[in-house]
Structure 1
Amino acid sequence: MMKREDRTDERRVDLDVKAALEAIRQEDVPERLRKLAIRLQEKLDGER
């Protein structure tokens, strides 16, 4: 059984990753990096 703190840390990391991916998508970055961020975001969303 997961401890409450473990779930909180996991959620915090997940939110940090999502925020980073969103920033990459909106900033002026190479198209290849933008596509990678989109694929990673879709994969994260699909795991829920």
Structure 2
Amino acid sequence: MGIKRKRNDARNSGLINAILFSYCLSILYYVFPSDAVHFLNVISQC
């Protein structure tokens, strides 16, 4: 039962990280449009 809870916590933390990441990207895209586009291009190339 503890392992199952840990797995759910990891999934929730991953979801939270994804939300925070997309939120930060949206801020970057709003403040620095060209930099954000370049940043996304670098990530997609990795």
Q: State whether TM-score is above 0.5.
A: yes
What is the CA–CA distance in structure 2 between the aligned matches of 1:20 and 1:14, rounded to whole Å?
A: 10
**How many correspondences in the alignment?**
39
Q: TM (normalized to structure 2)? A: 0.62
CA contact (8 A) 1:24 1:37 kept: no
Q: Give ranges in structure 1 of 5+ residues lacking alignment.
A: 44-48
Greater share of residues in helix:
2
Larger radius of gyration: 2
What is the RMSD of the two structures over their aligned residues, measured on CA atoms? 2.4
Q: Percent identity?
A: 8
Stretches of 4+ moved more than 3 A in 1?
A: 37-40
Q: Secondary structure at the match of 2:29?
A: helix
Q: Which is bigger in relative contact order (C-alpha 8 A, separation at least 6)?
A: 1
What is the CA–CA distance in structure 1 between the aligned matches of 2:33 and 2:13, rounded to whole Å?
A: 31
